Amino acid sequence: MNQTSLKVVEIKTFLPAKNFEISKQFYEEIGFTKRSDSDGVAYFCVDNSSFLLQDFYNQELAENLMMHLLVEDVRAWYKNLKSKNIEEKFQVKLTEPEERPWRMIDFVLIDPSGVLWRIGQNI
């Protein structure tokens, strides 16, 4: 088997959704594009990053799942989310960007199902 045969194209995780319809709206609102939606699974992407949202919910799983999205301009992402009133519209948590000891500025966004997203930028 040659190296070309072992090339990876993409890796995705499945995220749980407490309310599938609200979660789909949430992810589109924060900037992801919904590429497909059928049989209880919706495929979302932004640039080269993607995930699958599933019409399945387990509270323990959702509240212990963390995603990390590395962006070029974390302050622009934060400003965009604030301008859309994401916290109020979806009753979610959004923290201020902070410089971290691991040489990153990031903030936390918790989705409507309890999944924690760290959105950050290297410094």
How confident is the prediction along the chain (123 residues), in pLDDT tens digits per residue?
A: 567 788 888 899 999 999 999 999 999 999 999 999 999 999 999 999 999 999 999 999 999 999 999 999 999 999 999 999 999 999 999 999 999 999 999 999 999 999 999 999 999
What does the alpha-carbon distance between residue 45 and residue 56 come to, in Å, rounded to a whole number?
19
Asked if residue 2 belongs to a domain, the reply is no
What is the distance in angstroms between the CA of the first residue and the CA of the last residue of the chain? 40
Say what the pLDDT of residue 6 is.
87
Picking from 40, 36, 54, 45, the residue whose alpha carbon sits closest to that of residue 113 is 54
- Total structural domains within the chain: 1
Give the domain extent around 111: 7-122
Predicted TM-score (pTM) of the model is 0.93
Domain-located, residue 13: yes
Type of residue found at 29: E
